[in-house]
Amino acid sequence: MHALETRQLTLSYGERNIIEGLDLTIPRGKITVLIGSNGCGKSTLLRSLARLLKPKGGAILLDGEAIAKRSTKEVAKRLAILPQGPTAPEGLSVLQLVKQGRYPYQTWLQQWSEEDEKMVNRALEATQLTSLANRAVDSLSGGQRQRAWIAMTLAQGTETILLDEPTTYLDMSHQIEILDLLFELNETEQRTIVMVLHDLNLACRYAHHIVAVHNQTVVAEGAPEDVMTQELVRQVFQMECEITSDPLYGTPMCIPYSKSRLAASAANKQEAAKEPVMV
């Protein structure tokens, strides 16, 4: 059984359809990355999978059952979402933030439990934030702050985690740090991870399954080596490129053409050819 499925899903803002008649499957226990140009509907699709956006038509299935028929708390125990650019109240500590991940398990009859404490501590350890538990979230570096939000989703204890551009605004080293963390969570705990990424090369490096969104639907999905082609990049991003192999990991690597840069390079070569040879 797939972790998430959509059947003839249509999403809209007002009268404008963003996604139309979409059939999609998210494989369980894998890392799935959504790619596509700006405004194509990736984030909208991710939000709908988390039941944050009501479909105009069709259905979303969570573990084989319609997500719309489940209670909010039941969904929150099975699926967590980290939106793009989340913000915490000023002065909120890392520990306080991570504890919020246990909210779905709190009731009038059962308040904070040993299991809650265990899950919070495990989340802090997994994200290497135990020593920073009492620090204010807004005092952390970008990478540390993002790890704190991921720790909150881990404390929620769900099998499936959705993340909307988790590496946005992070420098290269912090991008790798966050993606390595998510990869390790998938490897060690078999978490199903679905995320939106803009960097095609990082998407290919970390994803088991890539979904390319274009013109209100999915135009390709599958393993990175099957999906990432010159034709796909041309269709989805209107960009010419070369697809080669990552020298470190063997995954597909997209090298985009730049018309201005190619023209300048050609001109420099012509000028160099005209220069007299010194003997």
Residue 249 lies in a domain: no
Q: What is the reported pLDDT for 108?
A: 74
**How distant, in Å, are the alpha carbons of 32, 92, 152 from that of 28?**
9, 34, 21
Q: What is the reported pLDDT for 13?
A: 86
Q: Do the Cβ atoms of 217 and 20 come closer than 8 Å?
A: yes
Q: Torsion angle, CA of 150/156/161/165, rounded to 10 degrees?
A: -30
Residue 209 lies in a domain: yes
Residue 246 lies in a domain: no
Q: How many domains does the chain have?
A: 1
- Print the domain residue range for 170: 4-228
Q: What is the reported pLDDT for 213?
A: 95
Q: What is the reported pLDDT for 110?
A: 74
Instruction: Report which secondary-structure segment, H or E, holds 61.
Output: strand 57-62
Q: What is the reported pLDDT for 209?
A: 98
Residue 234 lies in a domain: no
Residue 277 lies in a domain: no
- What CATH number has the domain bearing residue 221? 3.40.50.300
Residue 176 lies in a domain: yes
- Tens of pLDDT, residues 146-167: 999 999 999 999 999 999 999 9
Q: What is the reported pLDDT for 109?
A: 73
Q: What is the reported pLDDT for 168?
A: 86
**How distant, in Å, are the alpha carbons of 104, 110, 129 from that of 107?**
8, 5, 27
Residue 30 lies in a domain: yes
Residue 238 lies in a domain: no
- 256 SS3 class: strand
Q: Annotate 135-158 with b (16+ C-beta within 10 A) or e (fewer).
A: ebbeebeebbbbbbbbbbbbbbbb
Residue 47, φ and ψ in degrees, nearest 5: -65, -35
Q: What is the reported pLDDT for 269?
A: 61
- 227 SS3 class: helix
**For the chain, which residues score pLDDT lower than 50?**
none
